Amino acid sequence: MLEAKIMKNNFSLEIQSSDLSSQIILHSIYLSRLRDKSNDNQGKIEFDFQKNWIILTSFNGYGFLRTKIKCKNEDVDKSIVKPLIVDIKDIQSLVKSFDALNSDLIIINYSESGFSLTLPSTSSKKVKNSIRVFDSGFPRLTNRGKSRSIEDIDLGMFTSIFSRIISSNFLTDSGSYFDFIDLIIGEDSCRATTGNGSFFSSIEWGREDPFVSGSSWSFSIVAIAMILKIVKKSKSKKLTIVEYENCVRYKLDAFEIISLDKFESKWPDVNSIIKRSNDVIVSINVDSAKSVRDFLTPVLDQAHRDKIDVPSVSLSFDLSEDPSVEIQSNFKNEMYLTLDSNYLSVDKNENGVSVFICNVSLKSIIDSLNISSSTTGVEFKMSEDEFNGHSSPVLIEHIDDEDCQFSSFFAQVE
């Protein structure tokens, strides 16, 4: 039985070493991205000692991560045992040093001015390490307004879908739609979309419970990205999302993320691109798509080494009876790749152009060609019409995906 020993201004609590270690790993992942590194509260973790739990809360500026360690702490006097805050890097080092000792149990020693770990008295090793504590406290959050929720979402399905449309490039701190996932739930299908202003990824799948038709949601990309990372280290199977006026709570079996980011502006009309009529459709099989992506990746690496601000490539589609596609770097002309008619097929309007040329972001096309196992090919879809006074975006769709339809579109570089 895990026990607590109470003294006037401090106490000792025995817990499982693996419980503490696994929890610190989750909070370390969550605190790997801070909104404001100069903010003293961010990058810290709070230990709140309660009757049957130690509640751990960390704050990264975007919101909170909350986890629990089971314990027996029935006699703790709440007026004495106040929440204690430490730096995540300090507790990481402390826990790591004790992990190396291979003890099943570990003792937390608490006082208002200190936090330390020791081994049980039965251990042959006598070790004690302490870390500093901080006076600052986290902002407190009270749910405001009427709530709505999506309950018991299958986490396997959720992660497989949302992981395909999240890129670290989308984390902009802009406060605009760049930082959010737009989810539209229709009668028969759901569509989730992310974007950074010039590049958008969108995925559509058949609607099933618990998604309720006729609703729309906006999820923080930071929150979803953290869920995708943390869930790999937990045993959670279900996700419930509860939205309030001032926050969104993502509740999982092993942890809870509370996002403070709320979407307040208007999302762009992605359907005007995805559902548009196209003048040119060029289809390539999955092996050719992988070859294009594998060719472009070192080109992007070279652009980074050359410090090119917005590296781009030229796409030249020859739509004659013997069609071909040439992809050429715009900053090193000797870097190019050509696919001939053996690797592609073309569908175009009778009165359409015979050659279609456009310049696009190198990173955008690489992101668009990330291939899932069930994709059999990729379609480049292009329109000759203008879009909001500019050249129409290039649309790329993956075909024959078993469970969902993935697409992306990105602006031409003019």
Both 252 and 286 in one domain: the answer is no
Sheet containing 256-259, strands listed edge to edge, beginning at the edge strand earlier in sequence:
84-87, 44-49, 53-59, 63-70, 256-259, 248-252, 238-243, 148-154
Rg, Å, the chain Cα set: 26
Q: Is 342 left (phi over 0), alpha (psi -120 to 50) or beta?
A: alpha
**Which residues are 219's β-sheet partners?**
181
Determine the Cα–Cα distance for residues 244 and 342; give it in Å rounded to an integer. Answer: 55
pTM above 0.85, yes or no: no
Question: Is 154 among the domain residues?
Answer: yes
Output the six-digit token pair for 293: 């992506």
Domain count, the chain: 3
Do 365 and 282 fall into the same domain?
yes
Coil, strand or helix at 70: strand
Res 75: pLDDT: 56
Contact call for residues 325 and 316 (beta carbons, < 8 A): yes
Q: d(Cα 378, Cα 161) in Å, to the nearest integer?
A: 18
- pLDDT at residue 172, as a whole number: 46
Is residue 243 located within the same domain as residue 298?
A: no
Are 227 and 301 in the same domain?
no
What is the per-residue pLDDT for 77? 55
Within a domain: 136:
no
| Residues 404 and 279 occupy one common structural domain | yes
Q: Which of 67, 31, 21 is nearest to 251 (CA)?
A: 67
Among residues 87, 83, 110, 84, the alpha carbon closest in space to that of 41 is found at 87
Of 103, 131, 159, which marks where a domain is finished? 131
Q: Which is it for strands 404-410 and 394-399: parallel, antiparallel or unpaired?
A: antiparallel
Residue 278 lies in a domain: yes
The answer to whether 252 and 271 are in contact (CB under 8 A) is no
pLDDT of residue 214: 83
Alpha-carbon distance of 188 to 412, in angstroms, equals 32
Three-state secondary-structure class, residue 20: helix
Burial class (CB in 10 A: 0-12, 13-18, 19+), 259: buried
Measured torsion, CA atoms of residues 380, 383, 386, 390, in degrees rounded to the nearest 10: 20
> In this structure, is residue 264 part of a structural domain?
no
Pairing of strands 377-382, 280-285: antiparallel
Question: Is there a contact between 296 and 362 (Cβ–Cβ < 8 Å)?
Answer: yes
Asked if the structure places residue 143 within a domain, the reply is: no
Helix boundaries (H) for 205-344? 221-230, 271-274, 286-305
The reply to whether 139 falls in a domain is no
Residues 297, 390 within the same domain: yes
Decide if 337 is inside a domain. yes
Indicate whether 267 belongs to any domain.
Answer: no
Run means of pLDDT, 10 residues per run, the chain, 414 residues? 46 86 94 87 88 88 92 60 86 90 86 80 80 79 88 90 70 55 89 82 86 86 90 90 93 93 76 88 91 91 88 91 91 86 88 85 86 80 85 88 79 83
Instruction: List all residues 6 or more positions away from 279 whose beta carbon is below 8 Å from its beta carbon.
Output: 348, 349, 352, 353, 382, 383, 384, 385
The owner of tokens 């009668």 is: 187
Taking the C-alpha atoms of residue 161 and residue 193, their distance in angstroms, rounded to an integer, is 11
Q: Are 106 and 204 contained in the same domain?
A: no
For residues 278 and 248, membership in a common domain is answered with no
Q: Which helix (H) or strand (E) holds 19?
A: helix 17-30
Instruction: Please tell me the distance from the alpha carbon of residue 288 to that of residue 378, in angstroms, as a whole number.
Output: 9
pLDDT the model gives residue 141:
81
Q: Are residues 232 and 203 in the same domain?
A: yes
Enter the tokens of residue 280: 């040119």
Task: Kindly report the CATH number assigned to the domain that includes residue 173.
Answer: 3.10.150.10
- Based on the fold, state whether residues 281 and 391 are members of the same structural domain: yes
- Domain's final residue, options 259, 290, 315: 259
Do 317 and 374 fall into the same domain? Answer: yes
Note the maximum CA span of the chain: 89
Domain that holds residue 328: 273-410
Whether residue 190 is found in the same domain as residue 286: no
Question: Three-state SS across 101-149?
Answer: CCCCEEEEEEECCEEEEECCCCCCCCCEEEECCECCCCCCCCCCCCCEE
